[in-house]
Amino acid sequence: MSVKLIDRYLSEFISEHEYQNIQPQVSAAHHLLRSKSGVGNDFLGWVTLPEDYDKEEFARIKSAAEQIRKSCDIFIAIGIGGSYLGARAVIEFLKSPNYNNIKKDTPDIYFAGCDISAASISELLEICEGKDICINVISKSGTTTEPAVAFRVFREMLEKKYGKEEAKNRIFVTTDREKGTLKNFADKVGYQTFVVPDDVGGRFSVLTAVGLLPIAVAGIDIDMLMRGARDAQIKYCDEKTENNDAYKYAAIRNILYRKGKTTEILVGYESYSRMMNEWWKQLFGESEGKDGRGIFPASVIFSTDLHSLGQYIQQGMRNLFETVVSVGNSGAVFTVPDDPDNIDGLNFLSGVELDKIKKIAMQGTLLAHVDGGVPNILIELEDRSAYSLGYFIYFMELACAVSGYMLGVNPFNQPGVEAYKKNMFALLGKPGYEDIREQLQKRL
């Protein structure tokens, strides 16, 4: 098993009978999900996706990735939220947070359209000077302002550089199968397109073309990623929490939430986990935070954040719990060098592997935080491989859906995100929003 949930550090916070008491609610959520009778049931495509994905498109993703790798120095993935976080998280986790600076035979990858920043767009245009470029614009709705603006900028850059015909071969579009501004535009101009399936929402879409094309461009084995997710899909079918760690995680979260633990901190011990934490925050935050409910998802990277947020976690408000993700074999080995003079007094660590020191730091922190009143869930990932990460992604998606149903919300919509978009469109003067513009302006 590539993902293991350890509940040993929860014994002071959750009693055995509480797991039994919550089982009927887990079973109810399980049945809603599996019978597709719960709210948001038209967005359940991700449940069987690891087995049922479009094989023809998967092959097209691989060949487009190969074409991109051969024809550019820089690949720009344009998207926001679920249309970029998964790809970036997987690339940083499996390759490196310094991916663009490591030795490699794949293009540098930049992400654009995930903010509104003159500084970052100008900087990226400058970085692109004199380089060969391909872009992949990713937007399910095809109307999100941030990526739409970035797409216009980089499309214009490509057309100026290569001419319209050649630019066409360097622009890849991932969007709805048949509708939306972006789809219409892509068909009209003749860009190669990939599909965000109707029944898969943005934050559940990393294992579709949304995530897979950029991930494949980075040279990551997407077959192994899907295989890990598929094995997790097979593994996590049983409704009983004692046989299903994904459901057990959902149950634990709900038990703790009802005891006032309203903030969950996802803890990583490697900087390559930082963007995976961001992906997880979107997955749970957007799925559960509604109707005045939901656990607030936060994240840290230790040891770094032990010297900033560590104090709060140890002794601040006791509404926290932590979920620690520990990655087994990372593939790198490094030992502390010996110094015969021992001026720094560190020779008690000479020859000790950094992974061992990290593990002990983790154990010490876990116990300290538990002593400080912070329940700790431990999730062990077998290794830093595409297979294990695919497994982990599916684990989290499933846990999130079941946890959301247990909370009593629709885990698959995001009405709160639409609220800001509507106001922004109105204030920017987009046609069709005239009626609310005036009211909003009065309040500013």
Instruction: Give me the residues that bind ligand PA5 (CB under 6 A), please.
Output: 80-83, 139-141, 144, 147, 201-203, 286, 414, 417
Say whether 421 is catalytic.
Answer: yes
Q: Least separation, in Å, of the C-beta of 82 and ligand PA5?
A: 3
Residue 283 or 325: the one with the smaller Cβ distance to ligand PA5 is 283
239 annotated active-site = no
Cβ nearer to ligand PA5, comparing 229 with 378: 229
The catalytically annotated residue of 286, 288, 322, 397 is 286
Of 96, 93, 90, 128, the closest CA to residue 110 belongs to 128
Q: Note if 286 is an active site residue.
A: yes
CB of 297 to ligand PA5, least distance (A): 14
81, 417 Cβ separation under 8 angstroms: yes
Q: Give the active site residue among 161, 259, 421, 430.
A: 421
Residue number of the CB atom closest to ligand PA5: 202
Annotate 101-160 with DSSP letters as a single string.
GS--SS-EEEEESSS--HHHHHHHHHHHTTS-EEEEEE-SSS--HHHHHHHHHHHHHHHH
Tell the smallest beta-carbon distance from residue 304 to ligand PA5 (Å).
Answer: 27
Is the Cβ of residue 162 or residue 425 nearer to ligand PA5 in the bound state?
A: 425
* Catalytic position from the list 103, 307, 438, 442: 307
Q: Which is nearer to ligand PA5, 201 or 211 (CB)?
A: 201
Please answer whether residues 316 and 368 qualify as being in contact, where contact means their C-beta atoms are separated by less than 8 angstroms: no
Residue 372: how many other CB atoms lie within 10 Å: 13
C-alpha torsion sign, points 403, 408, 412, 417? negative
- Give least dist CB 140 to ligand PA5, A: 4
How deeply is 319 buried, as exposed, middle or buried, from its count of CB atoms within 10 A (0-12, 13-18, 19+)? middle
For the chain, the distance separating the N- and C-terminal CA atoms, rounded to the nearest angstrom, is: 54
Measured from the CB atom, the residue of 264 and 278 that comes closer to ligand PA5 is 278
10 Å Cβ neighbour count for 285? 20
> Which residues share a beta bridge with 195?
175
The 8-class DSSP code of residue 292 comes to T
Radius of gyration of the chain (CA): 23
CB of 257 to ligand PA5, least distance (A): 22
The residues annotated as belonging to the active site are 286, 307, 421
